[in-house]
Amino acid sequence: MATAPKLDFGDFTRSKRVLHASQRQHQRAAKSLPLGVSDTYRYWGDDATIYVKRGKGALLWDLDGNRYVDFRLGWGPIILGYGDERVDRAARRGIEIGGVAALATELEASVAELMIEMVPSVEKVRFANSGSEAVATALRVARGYSGRDGFVMVEGAFHGMFDPVLWRTQMESWNPTSGEAPEVVPFGRGIPKAHRDLVGVVPLNDADALEDLFKRERDRIGAFLMEPILGNCCSIASRQRYLHDVRLLCDKYDIVLIFDEVKTGFRVARGGAQELYGVRPDLSTFAKSMGNGYPIAALGGSSEIMKVISGFDGVMHGGTFTGHPVSLAAAEETLRILRDTDALPRVEAWGRALQAELGAVFRAAELPHVFTGHPSMFGIMFREDLPESYRDWTTSNHDLYDAMARALPDYGLLPEPDSREPWFVCEAHAEFDPAGIAGAVAEVIATLER
Ligand SMILES: Cc1ncc(COP(=O)(O)O)c(C=O)c1O
């Protein structure tokens, strides 16, 4: 936890932010890395890409010494705070194990036991190094179990950087009055078209559309892969009734229900979104918050389905770095903290307090708005009503949102500069006064053309 004093409004007034050191670093890095970064979404332009010096608590400093209260939190992993000493101490104990031996350690069962205790549907666990890897394994397990290769995803969902799921709904060019579904296109070049034939895409919160697809393609579809809260799409949330129907439909059509809890897991509740909704998936994937930033991910599921990981004639899973002792030690400590302390209720309460302050600012500016998802990872949509699906993004004022998000770093606040990414909250945010943050947002709103 950070120990900085609560900052007040005066700390978030506009200052002339320079990025000279980041720009120099960009020029250097672009010579050795495409776009000068390790993930294409980290590139914000030659002059605006930020290079990080360090993080502590809820704060990040860039190479120029600009300080930000961070609401990106690495796209979600930081649940306690950057550089959390409890977790880092545990990771150091993991270092003492000496590295990867391509053999199991005691830590694997310790972390698996914690997950089984905390997450309602999880009876068996396998680890991975990234969310993408965990979701890829979930799909393989579902296919191995069902014997069917087709699967269904939700418009606006993101499930990682591997080909079968790299399909996005092109909402930017969709005409809501056309009566047609929006086009589904690959995330860029290099993704084999053959994968498109294996995936059906449906809007969130539309159980009829899901059932129609299940009926039409029942011989081909083996899995429904979904995020109960769309963590890469404004945190648009499933309705309770919808998720309940999803469970029933998957049972009726004999389809494996996979909850991708890479963002919601160990964040929106100790047991993830499945605990919040009281709906049990067959398989779930976790990553981000489970290690407070250390690279660790997991697939969990019912013993019945996980038993297909059974040997060389079963479903294959593994990898040289899988179950790395440093990451597992960090995960063990993070999960213990989340289980035994009120860290998550504090995250939720602070997120709610920030929403209350921001809501007052938007109301004063007569700006229609809704907060979506969960207070620990909430979306802000400039529209009147709660959205049902990604299609409702088209009728939100996302250009205004993007302009706001791009202006906030000059005030020392760092949300993702894209309306579809939620605001993430960590335990260390409690050191900051939500009213001060909202005050800076009010200043920004006042400068924007509407
Ligand atoms: C819901 C969801 N699933 C999977 C992934 C992929 O995780 P990773 O980036 O760790 O590969 C992400 C990443 O943001 C995600 O949000």
pLDDT tens digit sequence for 332-384: 999 999 999 999 999 999 999 999 999 999 999 999 999 999 999 999 999 99
Atom index in ligand 1 nearest the CA of residue 161 equals: 11
The answer, yes or no, to whether any atom of ligand 1 lies below 6 A from the CB of 131, is yes
Distance CA 373, CA 366 (A): 22
Ligand 1 atom nearest the C-alpha of 76 is: 14
CA–CA distance, 73 with 424 (Å, rounded to integer)? 6
Largest separation between any pair of C-alpha atoms in the chain = 64
Our mutation pick for probing the ligand 1 site, out of 40, 204, 229, 263, counting the most ligand atoms within 8 A of Cβ, is: 263
Question: Which residue has the least CA distance to atom 4 on ligand 1?
Answer: 159
**Could you read off the pLDDT of 81-96 as tens digits, one per residue?**
999 999 999 999 999 9
Go through the chain and tell me how many residues it has: 450
Cα of 160 to ligand 1 centre, how many Å?
5
Domains of the chain (ranges, CATH numbers) = 9-83+343-447 (3.90.1150.10), 85-340 (3.40.640.10)
d(CA 414, CA 282): 36
Kindly state if the Cβ of 132 falls inside 6 Å of ligand 1: yes
- Hey, whose CA ends up nearest to atom 8 of ligand 1? 131
* Dist. CA 353 → ligand 1 center (Å): 27
pLDDT per residue rounded down to tens, the chain (450 residues)? 444 445 555 567 777 799 999 999 999 999 999 999 999 999 999 999 999 999 999 999 999 999 999 999 999 999 999 999 999 999 999 999 999 999 999 999 999 999 999 999 999 999 999 999 999 999 999 999 999 999 999 999 999 999 999 999 999 999 999 999 999 999 999 999 999 999 999 999 999 999 999 999 999 999 999 999 999 999 999 999 999 999 999 999 999 999 999 999 999 999 999 999 999 999 999 999 999 999 999 999 999 999 999 999 999 999 999 999 999 999 999 999 999 999 999 999 999 999 999 999 999 999 999 999 999 999 999 999 999 999 999 999 999 999 999 999 999 999 999 999 999 999 999 999 999 999 999 999 999 988
Give the position, in ligand 1's atom list, of the atom nearest the Cα of 130. Answer: 10
> Measured between alpha carbons, how far is 258 from 343 in angstroms, rounded to an integer?
27
Place of tokens 């993991």: 94
CB atoms within 10 A of CB 273: 28
Give the separation between CA 428 and CA 410, rounded to whole angstroms: 21
Choose which residue among 38, 78, 158, 377 to substitute to test ligand 1 binding: the one with the highest number of ligand atoms within 8 A of its C-beta.
158
Query: Is the shortest distance between the CB of 26 and ligand 1 below 6 Å?
Result: no
Q: Given the CA of residue 75, which atom of ligand 1 is nearest to it? A: 14
Whether residue 66 contacts residue 35, with contact meaning beta carbons closer than 8 Å, is answered with no
In this prediction, residue 4 carries a pLDDT of: 46
* Separation of CA 132 and ligand 1 centre (Å): 6
- Cα 194–Cα 199–Cα 204 angle in degrees, nearest 5: 155
Contacts of 423 by beta carbon, 8 Å cutoff, 6+ apart: 71, 351, 354, 377, 378, 379, 380, 415
CA-to-CA dists, residue 239 to 245, 345, 389, angstroms: 10, 22, 10
Q: How far apart are CA 374 and CA 234, in angstroms?
A: 11
In angstroms, the CA 133 to CA 236 distance is: 24
Query: Alpha-carbon distance 180 to 434, whole Å?
Result: 42
Point out the ligand 1 atom lying closest to the alpha carbon of residue 288.
10
Rounded distance, CA 154 to CA 226, Å? 6
Check if 159 has its Cβ closer than 6 Å to any atom of ligand 1.
Answer: yes
Task: Please give the number of the atom of ligand 1 that sits closest to the Cα of 160.
Answer: 6
CB distance 261 to ligand 1 below 6 Å: no
Distance 443 CA to ligand 1 centre (A): 33
In this prediction, residue 10 carries a pLDDT of 54
* Nearest C-alpha neighbor of 255 from the set 246, 244, 268, 265: 246
Which residue's C-alpha comes closest to atom 3 of ligand 1?
159
CA distance 218 to 209: 14
- Neighbour tally for 101: CB within 10 Å: 9
| SS3 per-residue string spanning the chain | CCCCCCCCHHHHCCCCCCCHHHHHHHHHHCCCCHHHCCCHHHCCCCCCCCCEEEEEECEEEECCCCEEEECCHHHCCCCCCECCHHHHHHHHHHHCCCCCCCCCCHHHHHHHHHHHHHCCCCCEEEEECCHHHHHHHHHHHHHHHHCCCEEEEECCCCCCCCHHHCEEECHHHCCCCCCCCCCEEECCCCCCHHHHHHEEEECCCCHHHHHHHHHHCCCCEEEEEECCEECCCCCEECCHHHHHHHHHHHHHCCCEEEEECCCCCCCCCCCHHHHHHCCCCCEEEECHHHHCCCCCEEEEECHHHHCCCCCCCCCCCCCCCCCCHHHHHHHHHHHHHHHHCCHHHHHHHHHHHHHHHHHHHHHHCCCCCEEEEECCEEEEECCCCCCCCHHHHHHCCHHHHHHHHHHHHHHCEECCCCCCCCEECCHHHHHCCHHHHHHHHHHHHHHCCC
Whole-prediction pTM: 0.96
Copy the structure tokens of residue 354.
Answer: 């920030």
In the reported structure, the alpha carbon of residue 263 is separated from the centroid of ligand 1 by a whole-number distance in angstroms of: 7
